[in-house]
Amino acid sequence: MIDRKHKFPVSHQCALLGLARSSAYYTPREVSPEDLALMRRIDELHLEHPFAGARMLRDLLRPAGFQAGRRHIGTLMARMGIEALYRKPNTSRRQRGDEIHPYLLRDLAVERPNQVWAADITYIPMRRGFLYLFAVIDWYSRRVLAWRLSNTLTTDFCLDAVREAIHRHGCPEIFNTDQGCQFTSGEFTGLLKAHDIRISMDGKGSWRDNVFVERLWKTVKYEEVYLKAYDSVADARANLTTYVRFYNERRPHRALDGKTPDAAYFVALASAIRAAA
């Protein structure tokens, strides 16, 4: 947005764009190795105890030799995009234009592919640094329909994955997410509305409302991410591509009577097509 080679000085460009001059000169600090190790352990504990806030995490971390205070842990949790998950009053201020939709899946019988899709974002540690992973899954078959990696918590990489899923598999009847700002934004809800998809959102802090995505994160991290230390974005993308292919094509699920997500998804789709013919 700011062009340092332009004839207008940076201060003039900031004034025209309505930006503070300090934002044009800000250089993000590299995360220290100590904080990266702490963030990875926080992520592991968050998967095991999603209700744990900064104070509880501080107490859980101390026996392992981590001496960080709760404020520092809270700062790292915000950077990772995670928070303690429990029901609490909906008192947070949202950006203008954000839309909150009711949860549509309670007591709903999900009986076929493309009836309900769900999506979420999670933190992915690397050897130096970290990324964010966004995935769209089919609720019925647990199949990963599309995914993207990003080094920032923005909406654009989420939109790319949703567009790919729709292009490859058609539209679901319902699309469920949490109430994260990426999903309540006009760009995200507008994309779903443009395809006549009903929008469902978890209750505030109700991680069980999107439990199948949470289970996917735990599976991906313990079977792939935590076993490796990715050296680069390209390395992370290549390894996750291999793992997602394994997850969809070869990994059996007890909840699917031992079938793989691909088998559950495509066999049920074929049956539905034959029944409609």
Domain identity same for 120 and 9:
no
Domain identity same for 139 and 213:
yes
The amino acid at residue 261 is P
pLDDT-derived band at 7, boundaries 50, 70, 90: low
Domain identity same for 7 and 68:
no
Model confidence pLDDT, tens digit, residues 16-41: 545 455 444 444 557 788 888 899 89
Mean pLDDT of the chain: 85
Beta bridge partners of 150: 132
Q: Which of 66, 63, 79 is nearest to 28 (CA)?
A: 79
Strands (E), the chain: 116-125, 130-138, 144-150, 174-177, 198-201
Q: Which of 244, 270, 273, 264 is nearest to 110 (CA)?
A: 264
Within a domain: residue 268? yes
pLDDT-derived band at 107, boundaries 50, 70, 90: confident
Domain identity same for 26 and 157:
no
Domain identity same for 43 and 164:
no
- pLDDT given for residue 97 in this prediction: 53
CA distance 145 to 164: 8
CA distance 54 to 45: 11
Assess contact for 121 and 133: CB atoms under 8 A.
Answer: yes
Model confidence pLDDT, tens digit, residues 117-168: 999 999 999 988 899 999 999 999 999 999 999 999 899 999 999 999 999 9
Within a domain: residue 95? no
Within a domain: residue 89? no
CA distance 19 to 6: 17
Number of domains in the chain: 3
Within a domain: residue 111? no
User: Which domain covers residue 49, as residue numbers?
Assistant: 32-84
CA distance 11 to 23: 11
- Residue 176 sits in a domain of what CATH number? 3.30.420.10
Question: Can you tell me the mean pLDDT for 63-91?
Answer: 79
Domain identity same for 182 and 270:
yes
Is the pLDDT assigned to residue 261 strictly greater than 90? yes
Domain identity same for 126 and 162:
yes
Domain identity same for 19 and 139:
no
The pTM is what? 0.78
Domain identity same for 149 and 188:
yes
Domain identity same for 128 and 262:
yes
DSSP label at 113? T
Domain identity same for 168 and 201:
yes
Model confidence pLDDT, tens digit, residues 207-240: 566 788 989 999 999 999 999 989 999 999 999 9
